[in-house]
Structure 1
Amino acid sequence: MKNKWLQISLSVLSLGLAVLLVVYLPQLVRALTGKPVSWSEIGAVFGTLGGGEIALMTGLWLLSLLAYTFVLTNSLPGLNNLQGLALNAAGSAVSNLLPFGGAVGVALSFAMTRGWGFGSRAFVVMTLVSGIWNTLFRFILPAVGIIALLIAGKAPNATVANAGWTGAVSILLLCLVVAAALYWERAAVWLGRAIDAVTRLLRLRFHASDAFHRLRADTAGVVRRRWPGLSLGMLFFLGLQWAIMTVCMRATGAWPGLAESIAVFALSRVLTSAVITPSGAGIMESGVAALLIAFGVPATPAIATALLFGFWTYTIEIPFGGLALGAWALLRRRNGRNAGAEPPSAISKAAQ
């Protein structure tokens, strides 16, 4: 009971903090950048949005949801895209409402996949594989953002440029090594030895390589057969989300340039990992607005873009996920009633 009430209290506090960060976003941006802005000015920007722009954002959002279903269907063979859409929507809704909501989302996803006839083992593999791919691409994004800025010549001097290239290439090489270790046995052995060397250097009393080898044993089959589908699914998902941000920037007059838009998008996805609020709500918007202003965008359209993008990648997923969860529960209840009403003779024949 204590843990339950603690979770409820943390959830309320976390949601309250997210709301406060959004409500006081103009003040936060002013404190970070010194640029004054008011809600009336932000509202005026929203008032300029046209029906075509909103329709385009909606279409891109729906396509991004569809793209991510391919990550799930490749992680769990036998899952169809409609089931993947419901699974993603319901899990995202829970994660967007609760701090550390990923654990609750996993429990909900487990119940849904069990209802569709998938076993526990298959679900665990799906969770591991999709989690690995999300993590890899979350690491890759900052490197892509840095490289985009460097190619566009946005580094203030040669020292910063060299540091940027070193950091970006290091991140990409690390991700490449991990991906290779998940695919090839020999690479996994080498990486395991390197991990053990690091743990010995840090004087840690456990073998981290054992956990990695167990992880690889659990996921190797799916990774070897389905890594192209997993990777394409993530690329299209993130590409469509970047397209949503691009439309938001264009619609609000906050377009900073191609390289800068990629960097802002990369930062936004990294900030969603801030667990102090559900999915980094409020924190993501503050960071996006501050970086846009640093790139020379006026404060009002910068904040409007951050809020609009947050709506399409966070807020709207809550009611949409609720609808998906309600539909799943309704169908499950109806199927349960149909199974209970079926005569024993028919059930025995179906089993044969």
Structure 2
Amino acid sequence: MKNKWLQIALSVFSLGLAVLLVVYLPQIVHSLTGKPVSWREIGALFGSLSLGQIALMTGLWLLSLLAYTFVLTNSLPGLNNLQGLALNAAGSAVSNLLPFGGAVGVAVSWGMTKGWGFTSRSFVVMTLVSGIWNTLFRFVLPAVGIIALLLAGQVPNATVAKAGWTGAISILVICVVVAVALYWERAAVWLGKGIDAVTRLLRLKFHASEAFHRLRADTADVVRTRWAGLSLGMVFFLGFQWAIMAAGMSATGAWPGLAESIAVFALSRVLTSALITPSGAGIMESGVAALLIAFGVDTAPAVATALLFGFWTYTIEIPFGGLALGAWALLRRRNGRNAGAEPPSAISKAT
């Protein structure tokens, strides 16, 4: 995507599609579930929210941002939590505005870390490690959602339950194998041989194990010493995000049960991978509302919950990230002017 006009056209199309999906969300939900709902009903539920409920969701949102800073500070030794907060907010804002915006978000993050004095090498390691942990937990979440439903007995028959257990355990085993291989060299060798065997079986003309070993070599030191902090950061980040959804469900009268809420949350995080719109905006809300309705929630509360959750995990990140990026730019400019105003002797002493 080196053509600037193509980037602009795709961005406008993607954002326009996201807006259309949200505007026509009642109609989309009606087509998916057969149950009608109007914006008047949804608006009435929004109007019934108390200041206490809004404050609770705001606090949970801030806590989720703070929790994710520990993923970044453990990925990039020397980064502090305030810098991690700015980095996360600015990168998310850019990613939320553009299709395939992750690459642009990475570029913005690189510029910020460069301005703080970090090397390109350390930034690459941070990007790889945080990306690996996000991917692993994105795989784990569906398994957790399936297991929650199985334990709650929310399956139609024994055949479906058996398939669910098989799928969930398989996903968890794969994630554990990859995590152990990143930490333990002997496990990495075994996994590399297994990957090569699969590529030979599929007659693929590349050595996937070489790419994996290069990835492990780049990230081994951070993974070996900081895996616990990375994992706890992701657990608390996702936990607070689930709490935002739970608070929204409670506020709108859409609470379907603990197991069901976990399954809905897992689906929401998977649907954010739909790249046709930035962060799956519009698609995530449709899927969340449809699944809540399938769990017996009334249509208006289900749609209202989906929109509330989309606001706290997508929409609000755009202005907040813009403020963070603007503050970083202003501070960088001011620091540059201050450095330029100092006499040469002071600058040399400081250096």
- The alignment's TM-score, normalised by the length of structure 2, stands at 0.99
Structure 2 CA distance for aligned equivalents of residues 301 and 267 of structure 1: 18
Structure 2 CA distance for aligned equivalents of residues 49 and 220 of structure 1: 47
* 2:257 partner letter: G
Map Cα deviations across residues 155-189 of structure 1 (whole Å, 9 max, x no partner): 11000000000000000000000000000000000
Aligned to 1:79: 79
Structure 2 CA distance for aligned equivalents of residues 112 and 44 of structure 1: 42
Aligned to 2:160: 160
Structure 2 CA distance for aligned equivalents of residues 102 and 206 of structure 1: 26
Q: CA deviation at 1:151?
A: 0.2
Map Cα deviations across residues 250-305 of structure 1 (whole Å, 9 max, x no partner): 00000000000000000000000000000000000000000000000011000000
Structure 2 CA distance for aligned equivalents of residues 168 and 190 of structure 1: 23
Structure 2 CA distance for aligned equivalents of residues 348 and 325 of structure 1: 30
Aligned to 2:235: 235
* 1:230 partner letter: L
Residue 293 in structure 1 maps to residue 318 in structure 2: no
- Which segments of 5 or more consecutive residues in structure 2 lack a partner in the other structure? none
* 1:67 partner letter: A
Aligned to 2:265: 265
Aligned to 1:276: 276
Aligned to 2:225: 225
Residue 40 in structure 1 maps to residue 30 in structure 2: no
Aligned to 2:183: 183
Q: CA deviation at 1:2?
A: 6.9
Structure 1 CA distance for aligned equivalents of residues 4 and 202 of structure 2: 36
Structure 2 CA distance for aligned equivalents of residues 314 and 230 of structure 1: 22
Structure 2 CA distance for aligned equivalents of residues 230 and 71 of structure 1: 5
Q: CA deviation at 1:67?
A: 0.2
Aligned to 1:149: 149
* 1:280 partner letter: G
Q: CA deviation at 1:85?
A: 0.1
Question: After the TM superposition, which residues 83-232 of structure 1 pair with which residues of structure 2 at under 5 Å, given as runs?
Answer: 83-232=83-232
Map Cα deviations across residues 23-51 of structure 1 (whole Å, 9 max, x no partner): 00000000000000000010001111000
Q: CA deviation at 1:349?
A: 1.4
- SS of 2:3's equivalent in the other structure is helix
* C-alpha spacing 1:35/1:71, structure 2 compared with 1 (3 Å): same
* 2:110 partner letter: F
* 1:184 partner letter: W
Q: 4+ residue runs of structure 1 moved beyond 4 angstroms?
A: none
* 1:110 partner letter: W
Residue 317 in structure 1 maps to residue 334 in structure 2: no
Structure 1 CA distance for aligned equivalents of residues 152 and 2 of structure 2: 54
Q: More deviation in 339-348 or 270-279?
A: 339-348
Residue 337 in structure 1 maps to residue 341 in structure 2: no
Aligned to 1:15: 15
Structure 1 CA distance for aligned equivalents of residues 206 and 92 of structure 2: 34
- SS of 2:240's equivalent in the other structure is helix
Q: CA deviation at 1:244?
A: 0.3
Structure 2 CA distance for aligned equivalents of residues 206 and 45 of structure 1: 55
Q: CA deviation at 1:347?
A: 1.1
C-alpha RMSD of matched pairs (Å): 0.7
Q: CA deviation at 1:348?
A: 1.3
Structure 2 CA distance for aligned equivalents of residues 200 and 240 of structure 1: 43
Structure 2 CA distance for aligned equivalents of residues 287 and 331 of structure 1: 41
| Alignment coverage as a number of residue pairs | 351
Structure 1 CA distance for aligned equivalents of residues 247 and 345 of structure 2: 58
- SS of 1:118's equivalent in the other structure is coil
